[in-house]
Amino acid sequence: MDKTTEINDAVSIIKDGQTIMVGGFGGPGTPFILVEALLEHGAKHLTLIKNEANLPQLGVSRLIEAGRVDRLITSHLGLNPTALEMMNKNQIEVEFSPQGILAERIRCGGAGLFGFITDIGIDTVLSQKKQVITVNGRKGIVESALRADVALIHAAVGDDFGNLIYEKSARNFNPAMATAADVVIAEVESLVTTGTLAPDSIHTPGAFVDHVIEIRELTEEYAILEDYVFG
């Protein structure tokens, strides 16, 4: 099965009001080209799930600054004063989730679980507005699983069936997000034919991926992003 897709055709499935997971840890692993295509596509009132909001005028920050995002579920905004200002002005709703908890909520979503129970943050601001239960005499916060309508992820190498390999620290939120969305769109730096990749080297099996976009030729159109994507 050949899952290679034109980038505009892939992002055109994203509808107003949907929840979108976006991989990446800062720059590494962020699907900058897909995010830019989503910005051009024009979908709005989105809920984004991402570890951070990138830097101003870069990555998902461009979606936020364009007013396309109503809600952001994230670990921190410390590198993005623009997003912080928008949050303080109530121009965007932000739900903070500590990084490890955010990752586990996504993993649970991919595993088909309702969530998990943790004592991290008990009796702090992290437990506000959340269900607290007692298990074997210990109090724990119920952290709900996270799933999305669409996940946008970035990989170094992929084949036309969607098997993916990530490079170095780009192997961060991408593998978990690829399991936790109804539709997964992957941008890959290099595209190879199915059967080329050694089975033991594959990080995300193609069964989780719906669309594959080779992005190397697209960097002429999005030249400003080339250092971030391939740097």
Span 70-97, pLDDT tens digits:
999 999 999 999 999 999 999 999 999 9
Span 6-24, pLDDT tens digits:
999 999 999 999 999 999 9
Span 44-53, pLDDT tens digits:
999 999 999 9
Do the Cβ atoms of 68 and 44 come closer than 8 Å? yes
Do the Cβ atoms of 139 and 133 come closer than 8 Å? yes
Amino acid at 185: I
Lowest mean pLDDT among 84-88, 123-127, 142-146: 123-127
Q: What is the model's pTM?
A: 0.92
Q: Which domains does the chain have, with CATH numbers?
A: 7-114+144-230 (3.40.1080.10)
Amino acid at 195: G
Locate 113 and state its tokens. 């679980």
Span 30-47, pLDDT tens digits:
999 999 999 999 999 999
Amino acid at 193: T
